[in-house]
A and B are shown apart, each in its own frame.
Chain A
Amino acid sequence: MKFLVVHKHESICAVVLRLIQQQPDWEAVSTHCITEACAWFSEQHFDGVLLGSGLSDTEEATLRKHFQQKPSIPVIQHYGGGSGLLVGEIRYALEKGKVLG
């Protein structure tokens, strides 16, 4: 499984990446640049997108509009990854095809 992490909070993103990479067969790339996130999403295969905090409403709207190119890929809010919530949110989105929150 490969995930795209879009974030504005560098240190929280580092935690999220570490939690993802702890899972067998999961990997992730991250960026804080909206243009880069859109380009990577178009060019590469991802199983899910994780959105972090700090994105403005405009930035998030831009991203979500772009991600509609591949509507089967879930866009998941990650909540900072604290205390291990992250994996449950991702598994639920991948299995059920819908996102909480």
Chain B
Amino acid sequence: MAQSILHKAQTRGFANHGWLKSYHTFSFANYYNPARMNFGVLRVLNDDHVAAGRGFGTHPHDNMEIISIPLEGDLEHKDSMNNVAVIQHGDIQVMSAGTGVYHSEYNRNKDQDTKFLQIWMFPNKKNVTPRYDQMAMNLEDRHNKLQQILSPDPSDAGVWVHQDAWFHIGTFDEGVNTHYQIKKEGNGVYAFVLKGSFSLDGQPLETRDGYGIWNTEGFELKALSPDAEILLMDVPMEI
């Protein structure tokens, strides 16, 4: 029988550092809630607002798959592998921290905030060689359908990660239905509403609500508002 967990948007942790306002779906930094540590291998889902001209200074990671999805504005990435790049809405960025990497993320705009999702997953393999990639997705390919933006397979659509995970984003007109089939036995899906409202297997969801569902093969998704947008993260439930 399917199991599920609902995380309403307003129950998330919140940190206001002035230049950074961050909502944490799971425990992160000073937000600690032992009941909200992870959903399977999904460990971090931060909804970050970075002020114009500000950003995250250089800091280290290891053995994490780190995914950034810009929602508004853009973000400059620099890392210890000598990558320098800018990501913007429609792009997806992935960094496998592996044996260790340093990076910074800055909003170089002088007059526009940047909003982006910062997502961390435990990898399925430790101490891999650090790597960075980013990809621009065609936004038209997610209208009234789910567009794959991440998978474990380098030859499949979107970026790839060291994990049996698949991410999709879809933007739907009101009333449009779709079915999602979970990609791998033992995986669950964490859905995060980016905009508007949805019904997922009968569960109403509003903007920035999170809903995890597992022990099921798939579910029905219906947009309940115009221009509704959702991110689905299909991840192993066993770490």
Contacts and interface: CB of A to CB of B under 8 A. Distances in A.
Prevailing SS type, chain B contact patch: loop
B56 A83 contact: yes
Nearest to B31: A88
B38 interface: yes
B34 interface: yes
B37 A79 contact: no
Interface string A80-96: 11111101100110011
A91 B97 CA distance: 23
Given A9-B100, A54-B127, A81 B60 contact: yes
B28 A84 contact: yes
A35 to B, nearest CB: 21
Interface in A45-72: 52-55
Contact of A82 (B31, B60, B126): B60
B37 A92 contact: yes
B59 interface: yes
A54 B122 CA distance: 16
Interface of A: 9, 11-12, 15, 52-55, 77-85, 87-88, 91-92, 95-96, 100-101
